[in-house]
Structure 1
Amino acid sequence: MDNTRLRYLLSQYASKMLTAAEQSELSDFLNAADNQTQLELLIEEAWIQSADEEETTFPFPKLEEEPTVKPLYIWRWAAAVLLLVVAGGTWLLTTRDKKGAAATKVPAAALKKDIAPGGNKAMLTLADGNVITLDSTLKGKLAQQGNVNLQASPGLLKYDQGHVPANSGVAYNVLRTPKGGQYRLELPDGSKVWLNAASSLKFPTAFTGKERRVELSGEAYFEVAKNVGQPFYVSVNKANIAVLGTSFNVMAYADEADIRTTLLEGAVKVSQENTSSLLKPGEQSLLAPDGKIKVIEKADIDLAVAWKNGLTSFKSADIKTIMRQVERWYDVEVVYNGTIPARSFTGDIPRDANLSELLRLLEISKIHFKMENHKLIVMP
């Protein structure tokens, strides 16, 4: 297939206008090992075109910023190539020999020392101080805390609360995720929590008082079981988030500028000392270290919960913002060498992608990387 025809098919793919016959033609071409060299040259060409953007956007460059002097499809084919990279098209990452066995390709220098993504892993500290290591393989009963059974299934820890006497003492457990870890938790009241990497949640093994209160460090997404007679509270640093029954995300990492609370459903009240703000669905509060609260009325909900939905996402983000996510999810140390070009990036990549796949996309904008002893060095 000549490049003109291939670019046209890719532009139709980017526009979601492929006919069934064209879809078959493109698939046959992409799956043919003999076409690997032509594909790699086309990828390089697409990267060069995209690097000219003021803001690099994945998987699609901003169409409204495209030069009008060129046919639109010429730019859409480049966007389609990037989309296939981000979507994890296996034809970019592997070729097959005549027997069908997979053979690794190395299209970028970053692949020489690749880093796998994080996964379901955490540590649970019981009330007596014993620590249980959690991962995707655990199943069945793990332990018992008073009248509460701890049940495990892949990636999930569940507290089954039976009858708990009102005068029973309060015992606390702590669930911690390391860098490169995430875990789900079902609290004794049925509330569900998704805990992001490098985070911790302290909670009672049974909710017996007038309120339900947990303490968060890092980031978590909550789906709180409704109970008007027993309001739910999340303590984050010096802030307090009051909940009746709702879905919301809290990001409170120590290396981020603000505590971000994003509301999907219901209502929450964010407060610190004498300042407070009541959020409505679709709003996000930014709580600064000085106690000032800013409310974004039309927040990017998808961006806030992308991590919970299996994506590493960024919107108009500089390289340091992206690298903070990289440090947490891929468990690497990031250092900067030299003056890094000022660039902003918008896009996402599957959370189960290897680090090299993300770096390969960032490198098109004249930012480069190398790995040394599990240290990621960012260079101009």
Structure 2
Amino acid sequence: MEQTRLKVLLRRYLDNSLPPSALKELIAELQQDTHQDTVLQELGQALAGGAYATPTDTEKKDIIFRSILQKAAEQEAAAVLQPVKRHRSLWKAAVAAMVIILAGVAAYFAAGHRFTNHRPVLARQDVQPGGNKAMLLLADGRYVTLDSTNKGTLAQQGSATVSQTGGGQLAYDGPNANDKEIVYNTVFTPRGGQFRIVLPDGTKVWLNAASSLRFPTTFPANERRVEINGEAYFEVAPQQSSPFKVAAPHAEVTVLGTHFNVNSYMDDGAVKTTLLEGRVLVTHQGRTVALKPGQQAQTKDGIRILEQIDTDALMAWKDGRFSCNDIPLEDIMRQISRWYDVQVIFKDNITDTYSVEISRDVPLSKLLQFLELSGGVHFDVNEKTIIVKK
């Protein structure tokens, strides 16, 4: 097909003048890689009113183009329209496919336009994402507010100097202590907060939202032990003579030097310990198992080992992303609830699984719109409450 003919079909579709008899022709042509530039250019200009140029990054353009067309080819794809029956007509299938294409290009251009066929997320006021904020409980019972802006020395705790280095990081500097000198600090992140801590041995800890880490301000010579609630990622500084132990509800993790993640959120069910590098020992109810990289131990009423964990998705929170691949909506909404500090209420029983890949820096409405693109779910936001329904 000539490029001119394809442009005519696309433009006629966009102005609602394309007859049903031409739909098969348009859908077939959308599958052709040779029309990639034409499709992106026409749809991009339609969305941006000509203000946004077609992207020149070939690799990114190819990825978005192929992912869009894959969805467009599926007649069972859940569109951004009102819920539809599985056995839809050709016309409805084409409309759904085109809306998905428009949605994908809109996300790619980040133009912020809404689709006329899309029920927008209802929100009186948008909810902003979380950020670097926490509270530090000192040994004498005083609290210190932590955020991204403060820098400098905060306190002297035992033989350790406590300082904030900016960018949401707390650091402890001091020698190993004897038992009489050990004092404890605790860092609490609220819902909608995260923070990083550099422990006195050089171990780095990323603390997720609604979590806490209790630790000695200087470690004794023979053992390094901390306590975790919620979720944290550890990069443990190696010390052969001093094992590093993480105590969590229903589990204890022992390492010498490694990278691992502990999720002990009570509403997530079991405590999940996932190994990224090195080797760890997980102990629960007197039983100890060794993990290899890519394995996850789940502990509650016993120990269950899962193989080949998607560690990239698991660690997305640390890297500032939501990354969910075909998981229940309830699991996704728990993550959203913690990060945006909102309450989630399900009005309907939704058993479908969903996928999402998006920055944790976007406002809540953008993330919910992204989920709605998968179909079968709609969100109403009333201040700090999300109503989930079909």
| Residues 167 and 202 (structure 1), Cα distance of their counterparts in 2 relative to 1, 3 Å cut | closer
Q: Which amino acid aligns with 1:195?
A: L
Q: Does residue 220 of structure 1 match 2:232?
A: yes
Q: Does residue 4 of structure 1 match 2:10?
A: yes
Q: Does residue 184 of structure 1 match 2:190?
A: no
Q: Does residue 374 of structure 1 match 2:384?
A: yes
Q: When the two structures are superposed, what TM-score results if normalisation uses the length of structure 2?
A: 0.76
Query: Equivalent of 1:244, from 239, 256, 264?
Result: 256
| Count of equivalent residues | 339
CA offset digits 1:7-41 (Å, max 9, x no partner): 89x9699x79966x987777666543689xxxxxx
Q: What residue ranges of structure 1 are gaps of 5+ in the alignment?
A: 36-44, 59-68, 95-105
| Residues 31 and 208 (structure 1), Cα distance of their counterparts in 2 relative to 1, 3 Å cut | same
| Residues 257 and 138 (structure 1), Cα distance of their counterparts in 2 relative to 1, 3 Å cut | same
1:113 Cα deviation from its structure 2 partner: 2.6
Q: Does residue 308 of structure 1 match 2:314?
A: no
Equivalent positions of 1:286-365 (< 5 A) are 286-287=298-299, 289-290=300-301, 292-337=302-347, 339-364=348-373, 365=375
Q: Which amino acid aligns with 1:354?
A: P
| Residues 307 and 34 (structure 1), Cα distance of their counterparts in 2 relative to 1, 3 Å cut | closer
The answer to whether the Cα contact below 8 Å between 1:86 and 1:350 also exists between their aligned partners in 2 is no
Query: Equivalent of 1:116, from 113, 118, 128?
Result: 128
Report the 3-state secondary structure (helix = DSSP H, G, I; strand = E; otherwise coil) of the residue aligned with 1:327. Answer: helix
Equivalent positions of 1:272-291 (< 5 A) are 272-287=284-299, 289-290=300-301
| Residues 367 and 76 (structure 1), Cα distance of their counterparts in 2 relative to 1, 3 Å cut | closer
CA distance in 2, matches of 1:265, 1:354: 33
Q: Which amino acid aligns with 1:215?
A: E
Between structure 1 and structure 2, the one with the greater Rg is: 2
Q: When the two structures are superposed, what TM-score results if normalisation uses the length of structure 1?
A: 0.78
Q: What residue ranges of structure 2 are gaps of 5+ in the alignment?
A: 1-6, 15-25, 53-67, 81-89
Q: Does residue 136 of structure 1 match 2:137?
A: no
CA offset digits 1:96-149 (Å, max 9, x no partner): xxxxxxxxxx97233543111110000000001100011111111111112211
The answer to whether the Cα contact below 8 Å between 1:250 and 1:260 also exists between their aligned partners in 2 is yes
Q: Which amino acid aligns with 1:123?
A: M
CA offset digits 1:178-218 (Å, max 9, x no partner): 00000111100000010000000000000124110000000
Where does residue 49 of structure 2 map in the other structure?
32
| Residues 362 and 3 (structure 1), Cα distance of their counterparts in 2 relative to 1, 3 Å cut | farther
The answer to whether the Cα contact below 8 Å between 2:75 and 2:97 also exists between their aligned partners in 1 is no
Where does residue 158 of structure 1 map in the other structure?
171
The answer to whether the Cα contact below 8 Å between 2:283 and 2:289 also exists between their aligned partners in 1 is yes
Structure scoring higher RCO (CA < 8 A, sep ≥ 6) equals 1
Report the 3-state secondary structure (helix = DSSP H, G, I; strand = E; otherwise coil) of the residue aligned with 1:113. Answer: coil
Q: Which amino acid aligns with 1:121?
A: K
| Residues 164 and 280 (structure 1), Cα distance of their counterparts in 2 relative to 1, 3 Å cut | closer
RMSD value, Cα: 3.7
CA distance in 1, matches of 2:225, 2:343: 34
CA distance in 2, matches of 1:79, 1:368: 16
Where does residue 98 of structure 1 map in the other structure?
none
CA distance in 2, matches of 1:16, 1:295: 47
Query: Equivalent of 2:214, from 195, 202, 205?
Result: 202
CA offset digits 1:311-338 (Å, max 9, x no partner): 112222222111111110010111122x
Report the 3-state secondary structure (helix = DSSP H, G, I; strand = E; otherwise coil) of the residue aligned with 2:366. Answer: helix
Q: Does residue 91 of structure 1 match 2:91?
A: no
| Residues 315 and 34 (structure 1), Cα distance of their counterparts in 2 relative to 1, 3 Å cut | closer
Report the 3-state secondary structure (helix = DSSP H, G, I; strand = E; otherwise coil) of the residue aligned with 2:267. Answer: coil
| Residues 27 and 84 (structure 1), Cα distance of their counterparts in 2 relative to 1, 3 Å cut | closer
CA distance in 1, matches of 2:75, 2:102: 16
Where does residue 264 of structure 1 map in the other structure?
276
Q: Which amino acid aligns with 1:124?
A: L
CA distance in 2, matches of 1:52, 1:221: 41
